[in-house]
Structure 1
Amino acid sequence: MTQKRSAGLLLFRRAGAAAAGPVAEVLIGHMGGPFYEHRDAGAWSIPKGEYEPEEAPMAAARREFEEELGLAPPEGPYLPLGEVRQRNGKLVTVWAVEAELDPAAVVPGTFRMEWPPRSGNVQEFPEIDRVRWCPPELARQLLVPAQADFLDRLAELLGHQE
């Protein structure tokens, strides 16, 4: 069995002079579908998706951003934040990029699944049902736990650039 891998882009906006750190807000998405419909904590993710071994991770990150949000990925520079292993075993690689994005402009991609289970009914659900800008402290509470490491790495990386 091959290792499942995902790649994604973490959009961020820099803080103003009154803010506590180098990042004011990050863009995260609430996972779509019935499993996450009534959940908040742990049901948000960095826009990302799976890719096959023959695809370059950066190409996958850009492709998945467009598939999940329905918008072209922002131009770089892309800051590598490395990878984390989620509790489900999936290895996630993320790049940060400073950019603006209007959440109202998002047109999420969809996926199909049988719902309810064993019903024979196939339904379509959004990959991400909403996105929002939020400060890193709030994002840490909402994100899939392993992905919070990317927030620390981004703050450290930007802290060294200032």
Structure 2
Amino acid sequence: MTALLALLLAAAPDAGVPVVVARDGGVALAPADTKKATSGGSEVEKLKKDVAELRSKVSDLESKHAEEVGKLNKRLEKMQSWMDAEDERRETEVRDAERRRANAAEVQNTLNVALTQLSTGNVNNLEKWLRSAEGIATPDAAKWIAVARQAISQNDLVSARQALVLAISSTQ
């Protein structure tokens, strides 16, 4: 039946698509005739021109892309340096806070020892201890330590004790 259909289609001049009988008895389409360019030179030149234009566009796009990547890299470097500076600032703040806590603890210990010694009436070595505590104390505590040193120098132990208590409270 297939062979008969193929013969009928092949015999009809206006049948449409050319049909070829395949070796296995099936039906296959005939290969289309390909026309070769008769004016090859002008088409080749046009294609070369199109290729050159495309290459130029690709080159322009690559340049723009490289510029954008460069800008993004600069922004990234700025952000990274800002983040590094922030990290350093935070680390410095943490170190400073730790140093202040250690200094405050040292000042409190020194002032407590000085207050205990002062309560016995012994003022030996107090000047040296108070001077060292004054150097690392907070501004308010340093002011009260200076008042205590002045009172000790005038043998006013009651005022010195009061000033030391105020210095201890201002370090907390």
- TM normalised by structure 1 equals 0.19
Q: Give the structure with the higher percent strand.
A: 1
- TM normalised by structure 2 equals 0.18
Q: Give the structure with the higher percent helix.
A: 2
